[in-house]
Amino acid sequence: MRLFAALLILTLGGCGIAVSDKPMLAAADTIGAPQFEDGVWLLPELDEEEDCAVDTAQPVSKWPDCASWSVHRDGQWFARDGDSGIATKAVPYSTVTVSNGDIAIIQLESDKSPADDGTVDPMPYSFGAFDNKPAATAKLRSIRFWIVMCGKYEESGADDDAPMTLIRYPGFDEKCRPASMQVLRDAAAASRPPPTLELPVFHWVRATLD
């Protein structure tokens, strides 16, 4: 799903992302959690050098192939099946769970099927976040999201050429796994970019493809 691929692009090549080998959200964390509106969702192009204008008044079949769109239906996400057209398929991130709270956590479960070399992702869970204050009472139609990191990078010396070192937030181990849901929530708050940085907006545009 292009949304979640884009989420990972926003990070340092995947370094420093909060991950887990088990789900972190319990039933209590999802009580009253916001829900996504069913329909077609669009993610603006993150590459400023690529011009991908989309006339959302037009049916999706008339959108350019470069458009990053997905379909949400009954709690399941679907992405374009191929590089063109409007045929869809369930996305590898088949399980997307959202938490409650002033900052909602998006728990993404990756595809657990073996890769071509037979290996399976040892850390199938990663996390995004978005502001949820005041708490959503209607289904979501727009979110400004960011990635939950397990720490922040700081210069390791006075030299401008000194490498950056990841300083992990409290409660994360050397593999960037959080010790608890509270650790993850604290990291989500600490990971939020400053107000001067424009967050990408993932938004609902229409109820049906065509």
pLDDT of residue 52: 86
pTM, two decimals, is 0.84
Residue 9: the pLDDT is 42
Note the pLDDT of residue 189.
98
**What is the DSSP code (8-state) at residue 61?**
G
Residue 5 reports pLDDT greater than 80: no
For the segment 167-183, the average pLDDT, to the nearest whole number, is 97
pLDDT digits (tens, 9 = 90+) for 66-84: 998 999 998 888 989 999 9
Sign of the Cα pseudo-torsion (145, 151, 157, 163, in order):
negative
Is the pLDDT at 164 greater than 90? The verdict is no
Once rounded to an integer, what is the mean pLDDT over residues 124-153?
93
Model pLDDT, residue 2: 44
Taking the C-alpha atoms of residue 135 and residue 137, their distance in angstroms, rounded to an integer, is: 6
Q: pLDDT of 38-58, one tens digit each?
A: 999 998 765 455 678 899 999
Share above pLDDT 70 across residues of the chain, in percent, rounded to a whole number:
83
Residue 95 has pLDDT above 80, yes or no: no
Q: Which percentage of the chain shows pLDDT scores above 90?
A: 58
User: Cα separations (Å) of 81 from 69, 87, 109, 117?
Assistant: 11, 5, 20, 23
